[in-house]
Structure 1
């Protein structure tokens, strides 16, 4: 076993990367490392269904698969770690941090998923407006143009983990790219999950060492569909049972790509093109936006 402590502690309104210092890993743990609104809950749901192997089981994803870096008071965080330690099944954990902020273990599995940055931005806007708390409202005001400009220019420095940031999304991919050659690091994409859920679930199953008979696997795939997750939002969406959302099912808004089209004018798209060109190579940008033709092994 080789372990590296996080090289970088990410922080923000909702994030405290120092929480990893208290985390005790277990061989076989699965780390679901996905930027916000890029398929985190989808990957967690897939893991839960494959690990438990029961399409009818009531799998409360937020309770079983905790977000380690979330800011909590010390006692609540200790309770979360204690519940995690009591789990006897293969554990699967949630992280929004880039991989340089997540501890690495050779005998664990890392599942990473990305999504077109413009879809992420507008999906997050819908998400924040659906929340009953106002902690993030100042990032997504009625001035859509100003918010988009901030998305293009916000830095991840100085506690910027939870603010809109194209730089953060690109950095997440860059850190994943740097580790993609490792046999326990597996990259996925939101668009590919949408287009080929059975094939991508088969990839996840192989990555985490789980197999099921074909008929059962098909039923698990059906339960992992976007429609199924939306219908079970109270079990799937983080914070739903605590009344975090105005409409829990709206956490799963539509599951479609390209919804940003029509929101941005030609000048804003040109600004996006110019900014992302400073952050990623053309090949990596193409992968981030489409999930196809990456310049590195999956």
Structure 2
């Protein structure tokens, strides 16, 4: 019988790990694209579940990235099996690659793709490629003498690239593949789409909304403050997703968190080309929600 789950894999992650993972009623699966608010949503869930800004362990310990190949699967499964609190689990796998369970909540955070791509470019420069290669067994970075493109150059290349979205999920086709799948499920009671810009505009209101959706107590001001960008950046040693030492600078992971920077870097012609490509990859109602008039 064909496998009902789509498999997604690249050099350092493989969604096949979801096939053998036993979900529990009440689990929260945080499914996002890279640099789209993943760590932010993990922190919000930690605060809502554990009810304290003083987390009992680093965020990556409390909320592991299940499909990351850097840590052996059996270790990740064992750590999650030992948790007695309500679990909140990170993945970059789209929902069609994760087991569907009506008793599990799925949170999909969406960010304007151009802003995500800018953050991804800066994040790429903050990765220790040799360390990643050592941990995953895959080749390291390309020729170190090769000139790194500017953020503007990288953004234009990203708009024009057309890889298989199942192999390059952080490409434009991959981002919209992920969000298109979640958008099609948005009427399911346990699938929740959250926009990055809504978190920026009204963090307290969005945290109250999430608490209601997840059947948790609403947050007080202390918990909301702990989820702000500046507060999280000041605690990068405990909150940055770096359990294996692959970041050169943990504070740099929390760079600015701004919105609108991607569009501002492009010419009018490049912006038009981006919108034409997006229109070919996603339905108009999703793009209206995603772009928010920008």
TM-score, structure 2 length as denominator? 0.88
Residue 184 (str. 1) matches residue 164 (str. 2)? no
| Equivalent residue in structure 2 for 1:269, among 265, 268, 271 | 271
User: Where does structure 1 lack aligned partners over 5 or more consecutive residues?
Assistant: 293-298
CA distance in 2, matches of 1:233, 1:72: 20
CA distance in 1, matches of 2:157, 2:10: 16
- 2:168 maps to 160
| Equivalent residue in structure 1 for 2:238, among 230, 235, 243 | 235
| Equivalent residue in structure 2 for 1:33, among 28, 31, 34 | 31
The SS at the match of 2:286 is helix
Following superposition, the deviation at residue 15 of structure 1 comes to 1.7
CA distance in 2, matches of 1:140, 1:97: 31
Structure 1 291/77 Cα, relative in aligned 2: closer, same or farther at 3 Å? farther
Structure 1 244/9 Cα, relative in aligned 2: closer, same or farther at 3 Å? same
Pairs within 5 Å for 1:1-298: 7-72=5-70, 76-133=72-129, 141-142=148-149, 144=151, 147-152=154-159, 153-157=161-165, 159-161=167-169, 164-212=170-218, 217-239=220-242, 241-290=243-292
- Name the count of aligned residue pairs: 281
CA distance in 1, matches of 2:118, 2:220: 33
Quote the RMSD (CA, aligned, Å).
2.4
Structure 1 15/6 Cα, relative in aligned 2: closer, same or farther at 3 Å? farther
User: Where does structure 2 lack aligned partners over 5 or more consecutive residues?
Assistant: 133-139
CA distance in 1, matches of 2:147, 2:52: 39
CA distance in 1, matches of 2:198, 2:291: 11
- 1:295 maps to none
User: Does the 8 Å contact 1:38/1:115 carry over to 2?
Assistant: yes
Following superposition, the deviation at residue 217 of structure 1 comes to 1.5
CA distance in 2, matches of 1:245, 1:232: 15
CA distance in 2, matches of 1:137, 1:264: 27
- Deviations along 1:116-139, whole A, 9 cap, x unmatched? 000000000111111222668669
4+ residue runs over 6 A deviation: none
